[in-house]
Structure 1
Amino acid sequence: MHEFRNGTPAGRLSADWRKSARSNPNGNCVEVATLPTGEVAMRNSRFPDGPALVYTRAEITAFVLGAKDGEFDDLLV
């Protein structure tokens, strides 16, 4: 079984990356992918071979539910 860690070069991850339909055409996007382990990786679309952040399902669930509840609205421009 593979073990993925934060900072693993995203280009080394065998993953189907996707980004939000709300992303702009300037390339300022965060892309996500589900890894074979069930974890979720994130990368900067401008640097597709740069480091990836890897989160557990529990961490992603907490973040997404918090975002839906408005916990991070203060970060919006």
Structure 2
Amino acid sequence: MTSNNMTWRKSSRSTASGDCVEVGTVWRKSSRSSANGDCVEVADNLPDVVAVRDSKDRDGGTLTFTTAQWTAFIGGIKNGEF
């Protein structure tokens, strides 16, 4: 199930009988997204990874990075490396 800023997925430990736990991922729009709809959404509340997706195609897949990779990427942006 997906809403504007929350995606729910069934836990991999759930049983076929319906005994399950759903885990929520909170998505937030990047502060660098433009007003014309060119937006990147980030989920940084996951254990050990950061996920990124296109807000215009929320079901189109995500890119995932380790926390260290994401921190290095953001640091590079702030330092003008890109």
When residues 63 and 52 of structure 1 are mapped into structure 2, their CA distance, relative to the original with a 3 A threshold, is same
Which structure has more strand as a fraction of its residues? 2
Correspondent of 1:55 among 47, 65, 68:
65
Q: TM-score, normalised by structure 2?
A: 0.64
Contact 1:35 1:41 in 2 (8 A): no
d(CA) in 2 for partners of 1:68, 1:36: 23
Q: Which letter does structure 1 place at the counterpart of 2:64? A: V
Q: Which letter does structure 2 place at the counterpart of 1:46? A: K
Aligned-pair identity (%): 48
Q: For the pair shown, which has the larger CA radius of gyration, 1 or 2? A: 2
| Structure 1 residue 34 corresponds to structure 2 residue 34 | no
Measured against aligned partners, the alpha-carbon deviations of 1:20-69 in whole angstroms (never above 9, x if no partner) come to 34422322101000243231000000001111000001100110111111
d(CA) in 1 for partners of 2:46, 2:30: 21
More RCO (CA 8 Å, sep 6+): 1
Unaligned runs of 5+ in 1: 1-10, 73-77
Contact 1:33 1:41 in 2 (8 A): yes
Count of residue pairs brought into register by the alignment: 62
When residues 50 and 24 of structure 1 are mapped into structure 2, their CA distance, relative to the original with a 3 A threshold, is same
When residues 61 and 22 of structure 1 are mapped into structure 2, their CA distance, relative to the original with a 3 A threshold, is closer
d(CA) in 1 for partners of 2:32, 2:74: 16
